[in-house]
Structure 1
């Protein structure tokens, strides 16, 4: 089997993150739209904001350590040290990359007049990276026959975190999208390492119907979210320009955030199809 997909996916993830940064952070239009989306959050229902804060508040150093231990435990129980190292490395490396980029590498020039939290750089999102790398690590380490069960529980959570970061006003859309791309790239590089070690085994058993239904469902959700985001941004921005309704801009950003996380997740799943 040809595994040249991994370098391609890794490169695509990093390039996507770079393009998002350039368009959203290094342009006046990008900063204006994203700031409008953040202001639009103020019109959201308080219960939605509280739910977002509660979900994000559960991601702590301790919960991250627990996730790493859980992933490692699965690999140890399978006696697959190679998968264990790769899966844990995805989570750890993902955080190292995004924290270095956010804190030391990527500047946020003052292209529009803002004050307070709107002025500092928050790209890429650490919380989104945690959610996505935990999902990717689980895909790597969980056996093929149990992967569908894992996806049922972890995929909705990982996807929701990206949108929650917007609802809680912790991050901008670009932060979440860049994190999706970086997490995907890091996971692809770990998969490439496994492939070069000869650790990837092809599963030739029967198709899991439940998993197929699950993937098709989330693919439809991703498509709908993407189209909805295009409509919510395209129509008002075309008619009103940068003066478009901030609530609508926020709703569009949320749709794009969900679509971005789902597309990244489904891309990695497609690469790991029938690999156990």
Structure 2
């Protein structure tokens, strides 16, 4: 939390006002689908997959990732991480929004699904769920619900909780190594997302680095917003790929 950091993130929020109405509407619609009911449905779904596989340990770990992720986020947001008033702002810009609950939900649902879904179906899962999870993080910026730091913190929390659940499973001896042939479509998918993450990171660095170096904190708000969106996507992709790397060839 620095004065410069808050100024840049607030500029990104103001830059979101310049986005197309269709993009803003899409963001609100996607975020609006994440409710208490949809969260409960996700918990029930991952638990059911574990039960059908007769893997109660995986079901418990997957449910724990989603529930613990939200518990950590709400405690941090409401009681532990007050937002210092380093920059004079009013209205929505002044409230604390770190970490992002919606981004945490999206990422923990992804990680929980990776834990509980059979190895042979993991590629299919990634094809459908990973784009959604990454998109939610960026949509929170488009809708002006959250700042970039909120989404990055949420990625870190989701990854940490999922890593702890994986460690618990490993300590129980519940994980087995898959020794079969590699699934080529899955490899292609992972390579694609790795490249997408690098492109997003590089684009975000350029969109922030160049204007900030030339114009300082008065850089164009639209460009700062675009850079924040790219960096948000890069953060979510990096967290997802890091967790997938931990579960490489784990059945």
Range of TM-score over shorter length: over 0.9
Residue 201 of structure 1, CA deviation: 0.7
- Pair 1:168-2:143 in alignment: yes
Which residue of structure 2 aligns with residue 275 of structure 1? Answer: 250
- Pair 1:226-2:210 in alignment: no
CA distance in 1, matches of 2:37, 2:234: 28
Which residue of structure 1 aligns with residue 12 of structure 2? Answer: 37
CA distance in 2, matches of 1:62, 1:205: 39
- Partner of 1:123, secondary structure, is coil
- Pair 1:154-2:129 in alignment: yes
Runs (4 or more) in structure 1 with deviation over 6 Å come to none
Which residue of structure 1 aligns with residue 176 of structure 2? Answer: 201
CA distance in 2, matches of 1:162, 1:237: 23
- Pair 1:188-2:158 in alignment: no
Residue 206 of structure 1, CA deviation: 1.2
Q: Which of the residues 202, 209, 213 maps onto 1:238?
A: 213
Which residue of structure 1 aligns with residue 70 of structure 2? Answer: 95
- 1:146-198 per-residue CA deviation (whole Å, 9 max, x = no partner) reads 00011110000000000000000000000000000010000000000001000
Residue 228 of structure 1, CA deviation: 0.1
Which residue of structure 1 aligns with residue 114 of structure 2? Answer: 139
Alignment of 1:119-130 (within 5 A): 119-130=94-105
Q: Across the two proteins, how many residue pairs are aligned to each other?
A: 251
Give the alignment's TM-score, normalised by structure 2: 0.99
Q: Which of the residues 229, 247, 268 maps onto 2:222?
A: 247
CA distance in 1, matches of 2:141, 2:100: 10
CA distance in 1, matches of 2:108, 2:176: 21
Residue 144 of structure 1, CA deviation: 0.6
CA distance in 2, matches of 1:255, 1:184: 19
- 1:87-138 per-residue CA deviation (whole Å, 9 max, x = no partner) reads 0000000000000000111011111110001001000000000000000000
Alignment of 1:9-48 (within 5 A): 26-48=1-23
Q: Which of the residues 79, 86, 99 maps onto 2:54?
A: 79
CA distance in 2, matches of 1:70, 1:151: 16
Provide structure 2 residue ranges, at least 5 long, that are not aligned to the other structure.
none
CA distance in 2, matches of 1:155, 1:97: 22
Residue 207 of structure 1, CA deviation: 0.7
CA distance in 2, matches of 1:59, 1:82: 26
- Partner of 1:121, secondary structure, is coil
Give the alignment's TM-score, normalised by structure 1: 0.91
- 1:64-85 per-residue CA deviation (whole Å, 9 max, x = no partner) reads 0111111011100100000000
- Partner of 2:79, secondary structure, is helix
CA distance in 2, matches of 1:46, 1:129: 25
- Partner of 1:170, secondary structure, is coil
